Amino acid sequence: MSGQVRASVCMAAYNGSRWIGEQIESILADLGPEDELVVVDDKSTDNTADVVAAIGDPRIRLVRSEINERYVRTFGKAAALARGQYIFLADQDDIWVPGRTAKMIDALGKTAMVAGNVALFGGPAENAPWSLRARDSNRRLANIVGVMVGYRPYYGCAMGFRRDFADVVLPMPRFLYESHDLWMALAGNLAGEMTHLGEPVLYRRLHEDNETPRHWRRLDRILKARWMLLRAFVTAGFRLRQRSRRAA
């Protein structure tokens, strides 16, 4: 690849050899020749990295981690390696909806962050029962409260941000052990730089190894997660104030 990179898709991979090839095919089919796919393999114990390497597309940049850092750190590492003007996250086990990249880049011409919806793999091409509404894009307070309480369904695999907002998103806070997507949602909404796409941008595959919980958590884990999100809210506000001072 030569010249400026338009879009960078950042994927965290771990023991995903069953699905990652199909996902990468759907991503590459939606990208242009000036785009890239950054895959960071989080020291898989299966042949995930070999599957990625065998695809042989010059737009793929494969990084093999020497230690297992789990998915938040791995997504952060992939995003830090991105060279594109538009940065998107991707899980290893979904399928992208054709045309997603163009729609999200168009939205990023208006705001620094975009979040789409998901459809369920194997189901109809319509939003899952939980979904974001396009008309709520500018409802900053409602969106932030929704993140903190747990009813605004932001998914990192359906989100993206512009290069000029990377100094707010990255590096992801060290205390963040999960919910990198909610960290991004808090930053985007606090800045007033969020656009919701009403339509689904990927088919999400549900299986036993999903990182997102599929059942109710114990109260102690819920409280721990809410404390983490409160720290994320404070950190995002601090970074945005620093950004404003630098721009002044």
Whether the per-residue pLDDT at 1 is higher than 50: the answer is no
pTM attached to this predicted model: 0.92
User: d(Cα 36, Cα 3) in Å, to the nearest integer?
Assistant: 12
Which tens digit of pLDDT belongs to each residue from 186-207?
999 999 999 999 999 999 988 5
Q: For residue 3, what is the enclosing H or E element?
A: none
Q: C-alpha distances in angstroms, 213 versus 62, 157, 216?
A: 28, 15, 8
Helix (H, G, I), strand (E, B) or coil at 245: helix
Which tens digit of pLDDT belongs to each residue from 152-186?
999 999 999 999 999 999 999 999 999 999 999 99
Which tens digit of pLDDT belongs to each residue from 5-60?
999 999 999 999 999 999 999 999 999 999 999 999 999 999 999 999 999 999 99
Helix (H, G, I), strand (E, B) or coil at 214: coil
Amino acid at 53: A
